[in-house]
Chain A
Amino acid sequence: MRKYTPKDNVQGKSYYTDRFWVAPRVPRTTLEEGSHFAKVVETLGEFSKESYIEVKQLIVHIDVKEVVNVMKLLKESCGYTQCSEQSAVDYLAQDGEFELFYQMLNITEALRVRVVCRIKKGEAVESISELFKSALFAEREVFDMFGIKINNHPFLKRILMPEDWEGHPLLKTYPMIGDEFASWYEVDKIFGKEYRDVIGPENRDQSKIERYDTKRFSRVGYEVPFDADISNGEKEQAIEYSETILVDYTTSSKQLDERR
């Protein structure tokens, strides 16, 4: 029996990790009474399932069916006239769902709101391109990269990958160097499948550097003879992390206050 390896996340792991770097966690704060964001959440009313502030931005969790209603309220009642970014995150391995998010900008208040919702695989979301034209391209990208269908989109086709591409590259189940279709794409398209034997498979360099390999890699900083053992009897050690450092992004505010 072969050892089972999980197939729901086949993305390659980085072979180099800085042992002193710790991913910072962003602190969450609750809404202040009477602030602009409190009014926004009040306007959204029942649509808002959960709301908090991260890095001076309001995050609102909503139901995926209410996307158009929420966007309409944000645009018409709260002054969020720009949808600057829209995309998704693949949490299929973890929760069996995608996270869809919409990044909204209010120009007069210089404030941003992120509208977040969860969508299951195979479900479709309503297009917001009637309200924001910028969503036309963003929704096509979501469809291209994740395979999330968008209802009532006027021109839903792939935007980055070729139209005859198979698979959605930003899924965690999609390997970084591509599947079989991807590796033969240009050969199949230009010469035909029978040319696969003539041209042969791709020769991909994994660009991995073995720390104690003096055969294929020369040492940086000090020279050693070819194929010398430089490990000093040391075995490969797992990387140890320092304690989690919480970085507070909310305390200092620079340019926005000055601009006002």
Chain B
Amino acid sequence: MAQHQINYASSAGLPIALTSVDKLVNWGRSNSLWPLTYGLACCAIEMMASGASRYDFDRMGTIFRASPRQADVMILAGTLSKKHSEFARRLYDQMTEPKWVISMGSCANTGGMFNTYATVQGVDRIIPVDIYLPGCAPRPETLQYAMMMLQKKIRRESANMNNNTKQNLRLV
């Protein structure tokens, strides 16, 4: 007795699933978000904990990559100093499109408690940010939640990045 049976009344009588190109592409993009291994300060410790076995980022398809050429997401984890801002922007520019940015922690969001001459007062001054993640430092669960929010955002977007109304600071 064959247990499996095709329901000829639905799915046009064939074992197929119908979808749009946008959904298919975004399904792939959102479930294989590869962040750049880029820790700037103490938030990086939480980011490392998120990647390690207890919190296990891998189960979400989030695998840290050590090269900007292979990464989709830049997690700016920590205080960005003015001296380093140039290199952060260069790493962002080296990432291939499509790319997303998570600003992790108070320091990356606003400069945090470092109201000084040497700290960039919010990374969105130099890099367009998708998700602002509050906390000092955010727990690994918070970073996981941010990643899930980013997945949601990607699933809403168009597969053609030119159609998205993302404000991007490009060099003219």
**Measuring CB to CB, which residues of chain A are less than 8 angstroms from any residue of chain B?**
161-162, 169, 174-179, 182, 185-187, 189-191, 198-199, 202-207
Q: How many residues of B contact A (CB 8 A)?
A: 19
- Name the contact of B117 in the complex, choosing from A175, A187, A189, A206 (C-beta under 8 A): A175
A204 and B82 contacting across the interface, CB-CB below 8 Å: no
**What residues on A are CB-neighbors of B83 within 8 Å?**
161-162
- Name the contact of B169 in the complex, choosing from A179, A191, A203 (C-beta under 8 A): A191
**What residues on B are CB-neighbors of A186 within 8 Å?**
82, 85-86, 120, 125-126
B126 and A177 contacting across the interface, CB-CB below 8 Å: no
A176 and B82 contacting across the interface, CB-CB below 8 Å: no
A199 and B125 contacting across the interface, CB-CB below 8 Å: yes
**What residues on A are CB-neighbors of B125 within 8 Å?**
186-187, 199, 202
> What 0/1 pattern do residues 83 to 112 of B give for CB contact below 8 A with A?
101100100000000000000000000110
Mostly, the B contact residues are loop
> How many Å lie between the Cα of A207 and that of B114 in the bound state?
11
Minimum C-beta distance from A202 to chain B (A): 4
Minimum C-beta distance from A99 to chain B (A): 23
> How many Å lie between the Cα of A207 and that of B115 in the bound state?
9
Minimum C-beta distance from A251 to chain B (A): 38
**Residue among B110, B115, B122 with the most chain A CB within 10 A?**
B115
Minimum C-beta distance from A168 to chain B (A): 11
**What residues on B are CB-neighbors of A202 within 8 Å?**
111, 121, 125
> How many Å lie between the Cα of A206 and that of B145 in the bound state?
30
Minimum C-beta distance from A17 to chain B (A): 18
> How many Å lie between the Cα of A244 and that of B112 in the bound state?
36
A190 and B89 contacting across the interface, CB-CB below 8 Å: yes
B117 and A169 contacting across the interface, CB-CB below 8 Å: yes
> What 0/1 pattern do residues 19 to 61 of B give for CB contact below 8 A with A?
0000000000000000000000000000000000000000000
Please list 18 pairs of residues, one from A and one from B, whose beta carbons are closer than 8 Å in the complex, sorted by A's number: A161-B118, A162-B82, A169-B118, A174-B117, A176-B115, A176-B116, A177-B115, A179-B117, A186-B85, A187-B125, A189-B86, A191-B169, A191-B171, A198-B169, A199-B169, A202-B121, A204-B111, A206-B115
Minimum C-beta distance from B87 to chain A (A): 10
Chain B residue at minimal CB-CB distance from A187? B125
A189 and B85 contacting across the interface, CB-CB below 8 Å: yes
Minimum C-beta distance from B169 to chain A (A): 7
Knowing A176-B115, A177-B115, A203-B121 touch, does A187 contact B126 (C-beta < 8 A)? yes
**Residue among A177, A186, A202 with the most chain B CB within 10 A?**
A186
Minimum C-beta distance from A167 to chain B (A): 8
> How many Å lie between the Cα of A234 and that of B122 in the bound state?
39
> How many Å lie between the Cα of A148 and that of B4 in the bound state?
84
Minimum C-beta distance from A194 to chain B (A): 9
**What residues on B are CB-neighbors of A161 within 8 Å?**
83, 118
Minimum C-beta distance from B54 to chain A (A): 34
B117 and A178 contacting across the interface, CB-CB below 8 Å: yes
B126 and A205 contacting across the interface, CB-CB below 8 Å: no
**Residue among B111, B117, B120, B171 with the most chain A CB within 10 A?**
B117
B116 and A177 contacting across the interface, CB-CB below 8 Å: yes
**What residues on B are CB-neighbors of A177 within 8 Å?**
115-117
Known: A199-B125, A203-B110. 14 other contacts (CB 8 A): A161-B118, A169-B117, A169-B118, A177-B115, A177-B116, A178-B116, A182-B82, A182-B117, A186-B125, A186-B126, A187-B125, A191-B169, A203-B121, A206-B115
Chain B residue at minimal CB-CB distance from A186? B85
**What residues on A are CB-neighbors of B126 within 8 Å?**
186-187, 190-191
